[in-house]
Amino acid sequence: MTDETARPAATQDRVFIFDTTLRDGEQSPGATMSHSEKLEIAGMLDEMGVDIIEAGFPIASQGDFEAVRDIAKLSRNAAICGLSRANFKDIDRCWEAVREARHPRIHTFIGTSPLHRAIPNLDQDQMAERIHETVTHARNLCPDVQWSPMDATRTEWDYLKRVVEIAIKAGATTINIPDTVGYTAPAESAELIRRLIAEVDGAPDVIFATHCHNDLGMATANSLAAVAGGARQIECTINGLGERAGNTALEEVVMALKVRGDIMPWKTGIDTTKIMNISRRVATVSGFPVQFNKAIVGKNAFAHESGIHQDGMLKNAETFEIMRPSDVGLKDTSLVLGKHSGRAALRSKLSELGYALEDNQLSDVFVRFKALADRKKEVFEDDLHALMRDQSAASEDRISLASLQVVCGTQAPRTAEMTLVIDGAQKQIKAEGDGPVDAAFNALKALVSHDAQLQLYQVHAVTEGTDAQATVTVRLEEKGRIVTGQSADTDTVVASARAYISALNRLLVKRGTSAEDTDRKTVNYHDAG
């Protein structure tokens, strides 16, 4: 089902954006997304102009396979890529998942550094032979094959050159050079790409890509340096999501190229006005909130408190802003609706913020909006984003909060009386704790049997004022399974309970696929970058 005429042509001034939020990003502990969430994010990536979407690791589990397959079927513009290790079984499964995409791609990899060669216990010649066989097999199935020497930046130069040449001769169309552990630096990153292009036989016939991790905080700089060295594909994720310190952030490299086109004369096909909306959505479905001072998409990225800065902004915004908020999809005004607003106004504003709702969905949101407007004097855009959080997944939840009453203060005991709906049946309990949140969590532990340990409990105010909604993030770990939940409410205790319940719902999903989860851990040990 390929349609090569629709693909953008490779030119010296064009940089392809390869997004791996749904694969490498989802490997962040606790960031697992549901099937519907993956399809939603893939649709948003496709709409914003991402060139290649790495939709998942099809061999990892049946769930991963189905997500990649369904994304491939639904994609309109982007190439859809699946990841596979260097063996025929992985590659065949990957091809089965992506083959119905308009532009399918197989991405196969193997670790080439001395440390990674020791894992499968292959010497250099044996690994070279495997690379030749597996890339050839992938190319016989798919016309678009990407190959990665994992941990390339710690691979001996002579051997890296040798295996890259082998992959090109075997039919690879894109050669990705991963900085798997965030080890390299900008000058080294640029020189490595430059040298490969200059010295590898067949280099002019392929696209070189860069995939950088942020362990030393240089992922964006290393990726842009690689482009300066000749790479024409950047692998990245929304919000820099990814294992350990994360990956190169899509929004950072795209906006750097847009703002500094004077010294980096390369273009992407990204509609930057869609950045903020997808950033917020990825933060919601992954459970990983964006830090306030995060470049481009952080809450403070366009905020000014210093008197000198405010004075300069009033006179000329360009004195302290190198890009406009509207460039990334932020509106100039934040105050939106109130308790007297109707359905039409709410639908219009949510549409402006990027939410397209059916009538039944709007009815549910409208009830919750009215309840919020009755509790708050002013409803801001950020309040609406918080209101929409977990809206798509709510119908799939097995556990929901029916009621919660807490008693707290300087005198013990602090208690929580809670009613949950679990698989359609109501259950009630009263529990004590060191405080109202602890009492609520103890009630949840008593009503929903689990051995999960609380790894993270984090509270942020959505807007200003004592009536602001609190966004609470909860991360749980049970027998190696890590899940994250989020919720927002003007009552911090209620938000905390719902965030914990959100995490428990995700934990129940993972328990239901425990065999697949165990297999996925084994697969993920051999990462692609």
Q: Which residues are annotated as a binding site for Mn(2+)?
A: 24, 211, 213, 247
Contacts of 190 (CB under 8 A, 6+ apart): 225, 226, 228, 229
CB-based contact 24:527 (threshold 8 Å):
yes
CB-based contact 476:453 (threshold 8 Å):
yes
C-alpha neighbours within 13 Å on the C-beta side of residue 197 = 21
The neighbour count for residue 199, using CB atoms within 10 Å, is: 12
CB-based contact 198:172 (threshold 8 Å):
no
- Number of H helices and E strands in the chain, helices first, is 17, 16
The bridge status of strand 335-337 relative to strand 399-407 is unpaired
CB-based contact 204:170 (threshold 8 Å):
no
Dig out the tokens for 77 from the structure.
């513009």
Long-range pairs of 456-461 with CB within 8 A, sequence gap ≥ 24: 456/484, 457/496, 458/289, 459/492, 459/495, 459/496, 460/289
Contacts of 227 (CB under 8 A, 6+ apart): 15, 210, 234, 264, 266
Radius of gyration of the chain (CA): 24
CA dihedral 183, 188, 193, 197 (to 10 degrees): -140
Alpha-carbon span 52 to 45, nearest angstrom:
9
- Residue 297's SS3 state is coil
Binding site members: 24, 211, 213, 247
